[in-house]
């Protein structure tokens, strides 16, 4: 959300603020697709645990990727399921049983 607010007036890398390792700074993270991320990748990294979301079958997650627009997250589990998560509310949108073995 912060990137949408700041992108009109923060054009240089030096103008961007660095997120601090506190809960309140989680609002200052920018999506991986933000242009400032290419020059300064730390603006997309959360250094403090903020939130945990669980699905009904608790199992290890082996793979995790953001969609190109940065609105959704897809995870691959050890049960062979792909789960599509909403990146704003972190609730799951859909679950797809894709494999009989673990997704890696």
Instruction: Give the pLDDT score at 69.
Output: 84
Which tokens sit at 3?
A: 């990137």
Q: Are 85 and 51 in contact (CB under 8 A)?
A: no
Q: Are 71 and 57 in contact (CB under 8 A)?
A: no
Q: Where are the domains of the chain?
A: 2-44, 51-104
How confident is the model over 29-80, as pLDDT tens digits?
666 666 555 566 665 566 666 667 676 677 788 888 888 888 888 888 888 8
Taking CA atoms, 99 is separated from 17, 63, 81, in Å, by: 42, 14, 7
Rounded to an integer, what distance in angstroms lies between the CA atom of residue 94 and that of residue 89? 14
């Amino acid at each position: 959300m912060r990137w949408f607010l700041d992108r009109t007036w923060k054009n240089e890398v030096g103008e961007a603020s660095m997120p601090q390792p506190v809960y309140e700074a989680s609002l200052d993270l920018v999506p991986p697709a933000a242009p400032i991320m290419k020059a300064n990748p730390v603006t997309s990294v959360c250094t403090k645990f903020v939130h945990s979301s669980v699905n009904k079958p608790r199992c290890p997650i082996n793979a995790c990727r953001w969609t190109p627009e940065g609105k959704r997250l897809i995870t691959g589990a050890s049960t062979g399921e792909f789960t599509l998560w909403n990146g704003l509310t972190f609730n799951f949108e859909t679950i797809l049983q894709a494999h009989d073995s673990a997704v890696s």
